[in-house]
Homo-oligomer: A and B are copies of this chain.
Amino acid sequence: MPQKFVVILAGGKGERFWPQSRRRSPKHLLPIVGDQPMLVQTLARVRPLVPAGNIFIITAADQAQAVRKQCPSLPQANIVAEPTGRDTAPAVALAAALVAQHDPHGLFAILPADHVIHDTRAYQADLRAAFAAAGSAAVMVTIGIKPHEAATGFGYIQRGARWKNAGARTFYSVRRFVEKPSLKVAQRYLAAGDYLWNAGMFVWSVPVVLQALERDAPALHAGFDQVRRGLAAGRPLAPLLRKIYPALPKISVDYALLEKAGNVVVLPAAFDWDDVGSWPAIARHHKKDAAGNVLRGRAIVEEGRNNIVVADDGHLLAVVGADDLIVVHTPDATLVCPRGRAQDIKQLLKRIGAERDAHKWL
For A303, list chain B residues within 8 Å (CB): 341, 344, 347
Q: Are B332 and A315 in contact (CB under 8 A)?
A: yes
Is A163 on the interface with B (CB-CB < 8 A)?
no
Residues of B within 8 A of A318 (CB): 19, 333-336, 348, 352
Instruction: Say yes or no: is A361 at the interface (Cβ < 8 Å to chain B).
Output: yes
A322 at interface (Cβ–Cβ under 8 A)?
yes
Say yes or no for A325: interface residue by CB 8 A criterion.
yes
- A321 and chain B: residue at smallest CB distance: B341
Number of interface residues of A (CB under 8 A): 33
Across the interface, A320 reaches (CB within 8 A) one of B316, B329, B332, B335, namely B335
Known pairs A300-B351, A302-B351, A351-B300; A320 contacts B345 (CB<8 A): yes
Contact A315 B334 (CB under 8 A): yes
- A317 interfacial contact with B, CB 8 Å: yes
Chain B, Cβ-Cβ closest to A314 = B332
Q: Tell me, yes or no, whether A338 is within 8 Å of chain B by CB.
A: yes
Quickly give the copy total for this chain: 2
Query: Contact at A337–B352, with CB atoms within 8 Å?
Result: no
> A338 with B321: in contact, given A302-B344, A303-B344 (CB under 8 Å)?
yes
A/B interface sample: 30 pairs, CB < 8 A: A19-B316, A19-B318, A300-B348, A300-B352, A302-B348, A302-B351, A303-B347, A315-B333, A316-B352, A316-B361, A317-B333, A317-B334, A317-B336, A318-B333, A318-B335, A318-B348, A318-B352, A319-B336, A319-B337, A320-B335, A320-B336, A320-B337, A320-B344, A321-B337, A321-B338, A322-B336, A322-B337, A322-B341, A334-B334, A336-B336
